[in-house]
Amino acid sequence: MTTTIDAVRRAVAGRPLLVTSVTTPRANELHCRVSPPNVKDVGDLACRVLGADLILMAADDRRRESGAFFVHYLFAHRADNWFLHASTRLEASAPELPSLARYHFPASRFEREIRDLLGIIVTDHPDPRPLVKHAFWPDQYYPLRKNVRPPEFADDGRPFPFTAVGGEGVYEIPVGRVMGETIIDMKSRLYFTHKGTEKLFERRDPVDGVDLAERVSGDTSVGHALAYCQAVEAAANVELPPRAGDLRVILLELERLYNHVADVGAIANDTGFAVAHAHCSRIREQLLRLNKALTESRLLRGVLCPGGLVRDLPVPVDLQARVEAAVADFDEVVEICLTNTLVLDRLEGTGVLKSELAKDHGVLGYVARASGLDIDVRRDHPFASYQHLKFSVPVFTAGDVKDRMNVRVEEVHESAALIQQACRRLSPGRTRASLGPIAPFAPAFGLVEGWRGRIVHWVMTSEDGRLHRVKIVDPSFFNWPALSQALVGNIVPDFPLCNKSFNQSYSGNDL
């Protein structure tokens, strides 16, 4: 079934008691307000009736302006490229929100995050444990509330309440080099690198947020900066110059290239095939030097800005040739790996994530595509100049380490082809457009297919034009829980191999 934004509008209009304040600020977006008791019904309409996915939940503190907190839901339809954005108002005196967790797993983690960072109570939630807050955080400390002052506190040694295990021959094992026991469960405890990134965006001028976005996750400088720029551009109604769109494609695909090459080498290394790791590291270094020649930054920083690029990039005449040479070199390494039976024995059937579990967890990127989920923002929600370019989305079905490696290998080829097409499309012209006025407290967002998967940046400004709230969703937020499912039934020595095949960020938005 194909649904357009007009069909979404009709579906919403058919339930007049469900939502209010319906607007269409951009061509494929419908925004509305919903009362807290109707949140579940809106979720049911978006996901079960219209076939969309919940890709973001965010909350903001507007007690000073309106005496309330607000919680926002962003639903996206991957096939028909439309978005439904619903906001609900919670009175500051008793901010309570009904949970969507019992029928949508990603909502569970968004809700726990909102509870930890803003103190909003989520009723009927099946998992009362903290997600972000560690045991020694003060009970009434909610760091994303406005004008909060961090109190003095320190680790008092209290352990996280993991579910206890027991039985004959069952042990709890911290990650390390151990023997061949079978894994029956794995629990990841994250947020030890929580840096307060979203708090650091507050009160900045929107143009000045790029430096911070580039540092959300160091290996995804372009992906996060681009998603942030697109969010600001949506808020400011900017039309991107064509040359800027093509250059953004080149930058994003160069980032995908060097990361995928590095990951394939690291996967081979965890099978004991260190020579492949060494050669992939050598090729990665060549690509990093190419990044430096293009942008003066090995990590491609300092170029993107809302409206386009900070400056025009004189693309080296040998850029395409250097990319082609690196990919040809990489293909030789891959062939050696995949014809080595000792390597293949470790890759095939290891760390299987079944398609049903992948879908239930909302996994993204190469993890999703290795488990049969055909999802890619570049095609489903085109940005930059991807709508003008031809490329395939590689999808495999085994869901094991080998297929997660295969997706990366195929995406290396697609990235090289995209860079060639974007280079051929380049023509003289502007690389930056001026920003228009941004309406206060009007949410806007940007989506990018980073090398790990879909990245979402959601922005809102205050009445003085400065950033009121920035919410970031790194693909690792969705993918980390699925790693636990893929590990069940594997032996402990395969944990590093499975973990590397997922290769989720430990830093992405303070994970």
User: What does the pLDDT average to over 422-432?
Assistant: 96
**pTM of the predicted model as reported, rounded to 2 decimal places:** 0.94
Place of tokens 């939502």: 19
> Please, what is the angle between helix 401-425 and helix 242-269, to 10°?
150
509 pLDDT exceeds 90?
Answer: no
What CA–CA distance (Å, rounded) separates 73 from 484? Answer: 26
Q: What is the pLDDT, as a whole number, of residue 163?
A: 67
- Domains of the chain and CATH, by start: 5-123 (3.30.460.80), 239-305+313-430+475-510 (1.10.645.10)
* Coil/strand/helix, residue 375: coil
Q: What is the pLDDT, as a whole number, of residue 135?
A: 72
How does residue 177 score in pLDDT terms, banded at 50, 70 and 90?
very low
User: What does the pLDDT average to over 35-39?
Assistant: 96
Q: Which residue has the higher pLDDT, 49 or 179?
A: 49
How does residue 176 score in pLDDT terms, banded at 50, 70 and 90?
very low
pLDDT digits (tens, 9 = 90+) for 205-215: 999 999 999 99
Q: Which of 113-127, 130-144, 241-255, 496-510 has the lowest mean pLDDT?
A: 130-144
Q: What is the pLDDT, as a whole number, of residue 1?
A: 54
pLDDT digits (tens, 9 = 90+) for 452-503: 999 999 999 999 999 999 999 999 999 999 999 999 999 888 999 999 999 9
pLDDT digits (tens, 9 = 90+) for 71-109: 999 999 999 999 999 999 999 999 999 999 988 899 999
**CA torsion sign, 28 to 47 to 366 to 191?**
positive
184 pLDDT exceeds 90?
Answer: no
Average pLDDT, the chain: 93
Q: Is 24 exposed, middle or buried (0-12, 13-18, 19+ CB in 10 A)?
A: middle
Q: What is the pLDDT, as a whole number, of residue 396?
A: 98
Closest-CA residue to 27 (of 78, 71, 92, 82): 82
How does residue 411 score in pLDDT terms, banded at 50, 70 and 90?
very high
